Structure 1
Amino acid sequence: MTQSATSPVRIEAVHAPDQPTPTPELEALYRGFEDELLVPLWTEIGDLMPAHPQSKATPHRWQWQTLLDLADRAGDLVPVGRGGERRAIALANPTLGGRPFATPTLWAAIQYLMPGEDAPEHRHTQNAFRFVVEGEGVWTVVGRDPVPMNRGDFLPQAGWNLHAHHNAAAKPMAWIDGLDIPFQYYTESQFFEFGRDEISDAERATPERSRSQRLWGHPGLRPVSVPGPMPASPLLAYRWADTDRALQDQLDLEDEGYAGTLELGHAAVRFTNPTTGGDVLPTIRTEFHRVRSGVETAPRQEVGSSVFQVFDGAGTVTVGDTTWSVTRGDLFVVPSWQPLSIRSEASASDSDSGALDLFRFSDSPIFESLNLARTSVSPALEGLPR
């Protein structure tokens, strides 16, 4: 029996351990499976049910200066407006088939806005955020609330919120966008809708604090007028001054002999939803890490993938068998279950804090919701996940 020319299923009888002995009868059975679009588990189990996650993504690093140079050239050549919508240039993991996906679930891009430009209003079901590694002068307008963007600020935005951007400065500005585009793409759950072609004059105002920050940006306090949990954070900007202080306080407590750091010399904070204490977005976790100079973090493996951006300082990063030197702005990917360790080589000459500061986002909330999350932290990478 010959293979069907129209069936996408292809099954080969092979001489291999735990496989049936190839015979003409087995070949005929397999051709019957192909004709009826059937696949036997015994020929696929190693790929479908491996002993541990085997990500299709690979570790990779993008250097910030190269991204900035290319974005600047795009600023001269590519307009912002309906159709293209954003001058956003996505990171494409080298083993994901050329798709604009940093990992199988996460999108990361550099967005670039020229002086006086507006990125038009739209909305989408994809959850998103912006993180600013340098620059100021751009306002994102979410639900007609102008929100300033400055160095070190983290700006989450839940899906299906109308938003636009405008650059009120005299020079271009770049930042990174993070979204769950690949996750929604593969689960076929995405929606998109255009908003207004232009924002109003009132939305071009440049307030020091947005309305969301005035209502929600008070540590430990929430407005009684808005009871109950919300699925995503209503606070549209988390300011660098607060993040910086929280990280330094952890290291100061460590110096005084008190607990507070994630591990010796490694401070970390997570951005949270003030209505629940959980993650700011349903599908994306965001954190900030500070590693003292000379400290090397213990290798850590996690189910799910991450993207890091160096905010300040320099260091050496090892993901699986790949090692890079990184400096301010560089981005790198950690695929699922690949061990990550970071060595800080920061100094006062390249870091305001004197430490290696890193922004991180991951897909951890997805796996925690599905009870699939696992983490292993061990210098020898031995033992059961915990």
Structure 2
Amino acid sequence: MDVVKESIAAQAVENSLIGLWQIVREVEGAELQKGFVPHLWRWDILKPLMGEVSENITLEDADRRVIIMSNPGARHKHHSTNTLYLSCSIYNPGETAPVHRHTSNASRFVLEGGGGYTTIEGEKCTMSRGDLIITPAGTWHDHGNEGAEPVIWVDVLDLPLVENLAVSKFEFEYYEKDDAGNAVRKDVQKVSLPDDYSGMVYGYGGFLPAFVDHQRGESAGSPMFVYRWADAKAALNRMRHLKGSPYDGIILEYVNPVNGKSVTTTTSFFVQLLRPGEATKAHRQTSSSAYCCLEGHGRTHVGDTVLEWGPNDMFVIPNGMPHRHENLSSTQDAYLYSVTDAPAMKFLNLYREEAA
């Protein structure tokens, strides 16, 4: 019988086939996540490396100067979770990166430095620490640094998801019309909207302008591209006396002001406050998550793994893994920023959440 099985297996391999009995545990395993592991990237290691990168790697080497958070369990080394790509970008004073767009939804979250900006569909979005900048799929955008020191921000894209769907595409052929109406190739966009357009038009809860077109580029995501940290932190603190979530403390989602949904079609963005000494209960979701600590010190238990974090540290929680958070200080708040692929999971009716 074993000889027959070996013969069947050999014939299958020769013809690019495989028997389910050979991989049944892999296909029908009880664990949701396959390969990806919880992991933390420490800022005290990453920052000096980013400094070396800024001095020795040019923008011409790869269009953008980026260090990717590569999950130790990933088959593709630019994947941080099964659906999320997490990285850090650094731009030196005076630098600009070429205008481009892609089929992935993307975001920027500033860690260090002033003077950074992203121009999106004609809106120049200035960036300060903690600000969230959204570049939904299909929007033209370019980056730059007008400050006197390097600027570093976190990028989060749904690139692994888009790649696995075999629809990943980057475009760099950008044109604008000149005064004569001719299409001219440009490396950066012309700023065509007033300063702080996103804040001016969408930054007042409960009021939606009826005289503007909310469709921006080919985006199906939020027309509000900038979410300020000062506003997010103030909102969290207005609610700090409330009970909050037993699993996440005081947590807020950044939303599309037009429809109240997540800011992109595939990813949702959150910021949460863990009050001094607060420890949450464990839960798990079918979605995966990427986190960055803005302020404070704490630890997150992910299954049997303990990830201890401080300012600017980043970590990921693979899908299906139970996790809980602790603020290790008895006197200071802790603030965490996070991104999940929950909208994609919900659209496919694959999202589940439960206490663990």
Question: Normalising to structure 1: TM-score of the pair?
Answer: 0.83
1:19-76 alpha-carbon deviations (Å, 9 max, x no partner)? xxx3433333333333433322233222112223133111111011321211111111
Which residue of 128, 151, 167 maps to 1:173? 151
Partner of 2:230: 241
- The verdict on how the C-alpha distance between 1:347 and 1:164 changes in structure 2, with shifts beyond 3 A counting, is farther
- What is the 5 A alignment of 1:117-156? 117-156=95-134
Q: Aligned to 2:46, what secondary structure does the other structure show?
A: helix
The match for 1:344 among 324, 327, 351 is: 327
Residue aligned with 2:240, SS: helix
The answer on whether the counterparts of 2:291 and 2:339 sit within 8 Å (CA) in structure 1 is yes
Distance 1:231 1:197, change over 3 A: closer
Q: Does the CA-based 8 Å contact 2:114-2:149 persist in structure 1?
A: no
**Higher-strand-fraction structure:** 2
Change (3 A) 1:118 1:376: same
1:231 is displaced (CA, Å) by: 2.4
* Structure-2 residue corresponding to 1:16: none
Farther-moved stretch of structure 1 (221-230 vs 153-162):
221-230
Unmatched segments (≥5 aa) in structure 2: 175-184
Indicate conservation of the 8 Å contact 2:265/2:343, yes or no: yes
Match of 2:341 in 1: 363
Aligned to 2:181: none
- Deviation, 1:204, is 11
Task: Describe the superposition over 1:324-360 as per-residue Cα deviations: whole angstroms up to 9, x where unpaired.
Answer: 3211000011011111111102366xxxxx3110000
Deviation for aligned residue 1:281: 0.7
Find the partner of 1:217 among 203, 211, 214. Answer: 203
Residues 105-134 of structure 1: CA deviation (Å, up to 9, x unaligned): 110111101011111211111110001133
Q: Which amino acid aligns with 1:40?
A: G
What is the aligned counterpart of 1:302 among 270, 285, 290?
285
CA offsets, 1:268-316, max 9 Å, x none? 0001111221110111111001111111111111112111000000012
The alpha carbon displacement at 1:197 in A equals 4.8
Residues 248 and 325, structure 2, Cα contact 8 Å, conserved in 1? no
Listed as ranges, the matches of 1:1-386 within 5 Å are 22-81=1-60, 84-97=62-75, 99-194=77-172, 195=174, 197-199=186-188, 203=191, 209-226=195-212, 231-254=220-243, 261-263=244-246, 266-346=249-329, 354-377=332-355, 381=356
Separation in structure 1 between the aligned mates of residue 79 and residue 51 of structure 2, nearest angstrom: 22
Instruction: State the structure with bigger RCO (CA 8 A, min sep 6), 1 or 2.
Output: 2
Equivalent position SS for 1:252:
coil
Q: Equivalents in 2 of 1:370, 1:281: separation in Å?
A: 15
Report the Cα offset of residue 101 of structure 1: 1.3
Provide the rounded CA distance (Å) in 2 between the counterparts of 1:150 and 1:111: 14
CA drift of 1:217 comes to 2.0
Specify whether residues 294 and 50 from structure 1 end up closer, same or farther in structure 2 by C-alpha distance, changes over 3 A only: same
CA distance in 2, matches of 1:203, 1:169: 18
Secondary structure of 1:54 counterpart: coil
In structure 2, how many angstroms separate the alpha carbons of the residues matched to 1:103 and 1:27?
A: 36
What TM-score comes out, normalization by structure 2 length? 0.89
Q: Quick check: which has more Rg, 1 or 2?
A: 1
Q: Size of the alignment, in residue pairs?
A: 342
- Give the fraction of aligned pairs with identical amino acids, expressed as a percent: 30
Residues of 1 paired with 2:250 and 2:196: CA distance?
29
Find the aligned partners of 2:248 and 2:54 in 1 and give their Cα distance.
Answer: 40
SS in 2 for 1:89: strand
Q: Any conservation in 2 of the 1:251–1:265 contact (CA below 8 Å)?
A: no
Instruction: Give, as a single letter, the amino acid of the residue that structure 2 aligns with 1:64.
Output: W
SS of the counterpart of 1:372? coil
RMSD: 2.2
